[in-house]
């Protein structure tokens, strides 16, 4: 279907040229260094000497173990096991140990609802509610090793549900609330989940968006679901199925706050999180307990220079993505931090909502996505200027490359030119941050994620597998790390094939990158058929499958075209079946129904044909050139070159509109 491989790797060159002009440097200030956890190369030196011993030190220093491990790492490529023989309870580490340490009254979560209602939750309260809900899950028949699906808005109950699963050794599978009923049932069925936790609805852009109807639609087709627990948030009318559906608040009411945190094996499955690959079927990425918790606790502490006693951390991601798992739930809570959790959109009621929240709670560390920063730029510097942002100390970005202009704007208008920016590269599969500055130690350059963290080994490789020391290449990881995925649920072959087969002995991330002559890494985006829309991963094939599932569509080709705000935008080219006539808008909505609104193509071109090679492969690279308004070079390999002229003419008409 797709044109794979080398043709695509020429593309980052334009970006490489643009970035090589970027020479500004920002060393950490003396004022910042004076109070920073890491200001020298000590951690890097230690890790370089012996990475296993380094990780073992993090695991024993940052995590409480019920039973110490026998072996730090068992590595039989592609299978890694960390801290083998060790036992711990992840929820105990996120809750009980802080309460036992005398911090029960410390605020864990300042929750801010979109309409302006709030909840302040201490560690003691969170422990109690998690214990109650863990008992509820047990009463519903959930046992160690079972899977539980979570489909919730950004409410505290999402964190409660995840931690309750961790407490009893059930694996959670969170599905982002923006995904469709179809996506939800696919994920439930793949994981064979017993219980689904959802809500009536949640607030978004000033209105309630219903979730329960989508959950009901999904459950019509999920034979393994025995119970559905419904959190009341939106207040919208819902239908409750007798015997299957239960209100969260009713179940909790009678539940005991006593629920012992039983020790789990270090390699006990903690969660599945589905992410798009290059085929139509999302992969259930598997993460386990001891290594993952070590990785996220360590990175949350050092990358953000966390001072748990005084900092107020805020990560703006949704819990439905890996960023929310690692840097809303597990990292911050394991570190005993105080954080903000916000339910809604950044522009309700006004375009200054984020800055208002920072001022209100005295946020010191702010972690968001480049696409959001570019949107804030569009809304103008007058919005943040309305608020006192002087509490901020550290700023972070994640999800996609940040362009130097957006970096500089963030630095000036949000960070007041005093806050280090950590551009953090990682993936659902890596579990935690891999490449990033350490804010008190690293001199940053706008647009570069700088260097692998202590304990992480990354290398660039060319097509032949040779190491690249300066210039462009494929990003690979050469050593196992504690937070790495342990596999793809139910598909060990796809695991090996996707990540470990392209370059012998290495993990291939799917990203292109460049090393400059000072060894700084510049991430350049995906080199496979995976798009990055506002920091969210969607595969071209997945959108193509959704399009061809519409009865009027014969064939579809989807590309990610560069977009000034969202990084990439989804552009689709569709051939209709003979005699069919359907509006592009109908097809856009069909994709939203199949996958979710985030996968709606920005533009759909209905076309009589697609540019194909003589062997019948769609030339996606050409379609991308058309979508991005570039000149088309050589078309001699095409079966029918005239189609490109026609597509260009159509694109020009749309551009004029
Ligand atoms: C892909 C992973 C990690 C949580 C959010 C996305 C891109 C991520 C950066 C960055 C350039 C980045 C990569 C990666 N990406 N962070 N700082 N600079 N690109 O998680 O959905 O698993 O996507 O996001 O292309 O492969 P994900």
Q: How far, in Å, from the CA of 523 to the mean position of ligand 1?
A: 9
Q: What is the pLDDT of residue 521?
A: 97
Residue having the nearest C-alpha atom to atom 23 of ligand 1: 427
Residue having the nearest C-alpha atom to atom 6 of ligand 1: 399
Handedness of CA 286, 290, 291, 293 (dihedral sign): positive
Q: How far, in Å, from the CA of 425 to the mean position of ligand 1?
A: 6
Neighbours of 46 (CB within 10 A): 15
Residues in the chain, pLDDT under 70:
1-21, 632-638, 653-657
Written as six digits, the tokens of 116 are 């302006």
Residue by residue, what is the 3-state secondary structure of 125-174? HHHHHHHHHHHHHHHCCCCCCCEEEEECCCCHHHHHHHHHHHHHCCEEEE
Residues with CB under 6 A from ligand 1: 275, 322-323, 398-401, 423-428, 449, 509-511, 523, 525-526, 532, 535, 537
Neighbours of 364 (CB within 10 A): 21
Q: How far, in Å, from the CA of 604 to the mean position of ligand 1?
A: 26
Q: What is the pLDDT of residue 278?
A: 80
Q: What is the pLDDT of residue 19?
A: 57
Neighbours of 544 (CB within 10 A): 24
Q: The pTM is what?
A: 0.92
Q: What is the pLDDT of residue 1?
A: 32
- What's the Cα-to-Cα distance from 236 to each of 201, 332, 484, 594, rounded to whole Å? 7, 32, 40, 24
- C-beta separation of 374 from 333 below 8 A: no
Rounded CA-CA distance 133/98 in Å is 19
Q: What is the pLDDT of residue 629?
A: 82
Which of 425, 449, 533 best tests ligand 1's pocket when mutated (most atoms within 8 Å of CB)? 425
Share of the chain residues as helix, strand and coil, in percent rounded to the nearest 5: 35, 25, 40
Question: Can you tell me which atom of ligand 1 is nearest the CA of 433?
Answer: 3
Domains of the chain and any CATH numbers: 30-515 (3.40.50.12780), 534-656 (3.30.300.30)
Question: Can you tell me which atom of ligand 1 is nearest the CA of 424?
Answer: 17
Q: What is the pLDDT of residue 634?
A: 67
Written as six digits, the tokens of 142 are 């959930």
Q: How far, in Å, from the CA of 413 to the mean position of ligand 1?
A: 24
Which of 283, 324, 537, 568 best tests ligand 1's pocket when mutated (most atoms within 8 Å of CB)? 537
Residue having the nearest C-alpha atom to atom 14 of ligand 1: 427
Question: Can you tell me which atom of ligand 1 is nearest the CA of 423?
Answer: 17
Q: HSE on the CB side for 131, CA within 13 Å?
A: 16
Q: What is the pLDDT of residue 633?
A: 66
Task: Give the three-class secondary structure for 532.
Answer: strand
Rounded CA-CA distance 617/639 in Å is 10
DSSP 354-402: HHHHHHHHT--EEEE-HHHHHHHHHH-THHHHTS--TT--EEEEESSPP
């Amino acid at each position: 279907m797709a044109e794979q491989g080398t043709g695509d790797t020429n593309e980052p060159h334009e970006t490489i040229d643009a970035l090589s002009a970027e020479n500004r440097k920002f060393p950490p200030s003396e004022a910042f260094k004076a109070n920073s956890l890491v200001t020298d190369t000590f951690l890097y030196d230690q890790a370089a000497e012996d990475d296993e011993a380094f990780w073992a030190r993090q695991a024993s220093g940052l995590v409480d173990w019920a039973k110490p491990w026998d072996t730090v790492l068992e590595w039989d490529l592609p299978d890694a096991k960390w801290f083998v023989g060790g036992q711990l309870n992840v929820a105990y580490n996120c809750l009980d140990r802080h309460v036992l340490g005398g911090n029960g009254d410390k605020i864990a979560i300042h929750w801010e609802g979109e309409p302006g209602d709030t909840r302040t939750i201490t560690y003691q309260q969170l422990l109690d509610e998690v214990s109650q809900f863990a008992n509820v899950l047990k009463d519903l028949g959930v046992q160690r090793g079972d899977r539980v699906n979570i489909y919730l808005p950004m409410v505290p109950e999402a964190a409660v549900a995840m931690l309750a699963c961790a407490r009893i050794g059930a694996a959670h599978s969170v599905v982002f609330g923006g995904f469709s009923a179809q996506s939800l049932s696919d994920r439930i069925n793949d994981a064979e989940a017993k219980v689904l936790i959802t809500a009536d609805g949640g607030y978004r852009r000033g209105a309630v968006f219903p979730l329960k109807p989508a959950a009901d639609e999904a459950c019509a087709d999920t034979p393994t679901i025995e119970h559905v627990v419904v959190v009341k948030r939106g207040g919208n009318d819902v239908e409750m199925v007798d015997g299957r559906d239960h209100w969260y608040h009713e179940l909790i009411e009678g539940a005991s706050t006593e629920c012992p945190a039983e020790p789990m094996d270090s390699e006990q499955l903690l969660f599945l999180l589905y992410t798009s690959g290059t085929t139509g079927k999302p992969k259930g990425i598997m993460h386990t307990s001891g290594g993952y918790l070590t990785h996220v606790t360590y990175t949350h502490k050092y990358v953000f220079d966390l001072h748990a006693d005084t900092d107020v951390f805020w990560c703006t991601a949704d819990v439905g993505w890996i960023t929310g798992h690692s840097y809303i739930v597990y990292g911050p809570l394991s570190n005993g931090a105080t954080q903000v959790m916000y339910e809604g959109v950044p522009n309700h009621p006004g375009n200054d909502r984020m800055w208002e929240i920072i001022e209100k709670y005295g946020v010191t560390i702010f972690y968001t996505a480049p696409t959001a920063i570019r949107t804030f730029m569009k809304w103008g510097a007058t919005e943040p200027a309305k608020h006192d942002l002087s509490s901020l100390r550290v700023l972070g970005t994640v999800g996609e490359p940040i362009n130097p202009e957006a970096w500089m704007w963030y630095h000036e208008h949000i960070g007041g030119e005093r806050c280090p920016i950590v551009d953090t590269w990682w993936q659902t599969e890596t579990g935690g941050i891999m490449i990033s500055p350490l804010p008190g130690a690293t001199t940053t350059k706008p647009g570069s994620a700088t260097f692998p963290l202590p304990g992480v080994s990354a290398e660039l490789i060319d097509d032949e597998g040779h190491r690249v020391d300066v210039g462009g290449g494929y990003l690979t990881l050469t050593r196992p790390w504690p937070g790495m995925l342990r596999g793809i649920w139910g598909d060990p072959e796809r695991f090996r094939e996707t990540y470990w087969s392209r370059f012998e002995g290495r993990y291939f991330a799917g990203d292109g990158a460049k090393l400059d002559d000072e060894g700084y890494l510049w991430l350049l985006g995906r080199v496979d058929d995976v798009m990055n829309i506002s920091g969210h991963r969607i595969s071209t094939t997945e959108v193509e499958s959704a399009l061809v599932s519409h009865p009027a569509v014969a064939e579809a080709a989807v590309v990610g075209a560069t977009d000034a705000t969202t990084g990439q935008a989804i552009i689709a080219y569709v051939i209709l079946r003979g005699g069919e006539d359907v509006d592009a808008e109908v097809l856009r909505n069909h994709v939203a129904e199949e996958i979710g609104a985030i996968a709606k193509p920005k533009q759909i071109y209905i076309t009589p044909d697609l540019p194909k090679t003589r062997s019948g492969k769609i030339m996606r690279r050409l379609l991308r050139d058309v979508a991005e308004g570039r000149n088309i070079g050589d078309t001699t390999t095409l079966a029918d070159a005239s189609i490109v002229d026609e597509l260009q003419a159509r694109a020009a008409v749309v551009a004029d509109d």
